[in-house]
Amino acid sequence: MKPNRTRILFVCHGNICRSTMAQCVMQWLVDEADLGDSFTIDSAATTNEEIGMPIYPPARDKLKAEGVPIVPHRARRIQAGENAGWDYIVCMDDENIRHLKRILGPENMGKVRKLLSFVGEEGDVADPWYTRNFDETYDDVLRGCQALLAEVTV
């Protein structure tokens, strides 16, 4: 990772839908604002289920339909101790928080926030793997990323 950058890691269960959508959306937002050189953005899973897989095709299709460029991606799992390399670890739901406490350790949760907390909401970003509602997930991801960018660039 390059120094003097805001470093954001998006996290979800498998790293093929929500966190990858957030990574693509956030990269697009910072690039559109001509801030690409000021950020390092990545995503990871809390489980091993989808390791090595690309973005889930319906998630990719939704991003393309919205004009959001797809970043190169293969699912990976967040590692213990990795929290030191990130300024923000942004997860999608309460299950992710439970997994992150186990992986990172409860003492290393200071950088962890749920994405919708940036818009003042306590709710979860619904997992479209189960809901099949990629529109709703995209809308929540976009709102959360816009608010995160506004907070970081204040």
Selecting among 42, 93, 124, 127, the annotated active-site residue is 127
Ramachandran category for residue 146: left, alpha or beta (phi over 0 → left; psi -120 to 50 → alpha): alpha
5 is an active site residue: no
Name residue, tokens 């953005």.
Answer: 41
Catalytic status, residue 87: no
The verdict on whether 77 is a catalytic residue reads no
Q: Which of 116, 136, 143 is nearest to 62 (CA)?
A: 136
Catalytic residue chosen out of the listed positions 12, 24, 91, 145: 12
Which residue out of 17, 18, 60, 124 is catalytically annotated?
18
d(Cα 70, Cα 143) in Å, to the nearest integer? 18
The residues carrying an active-site annotation are: 12, 18, 127
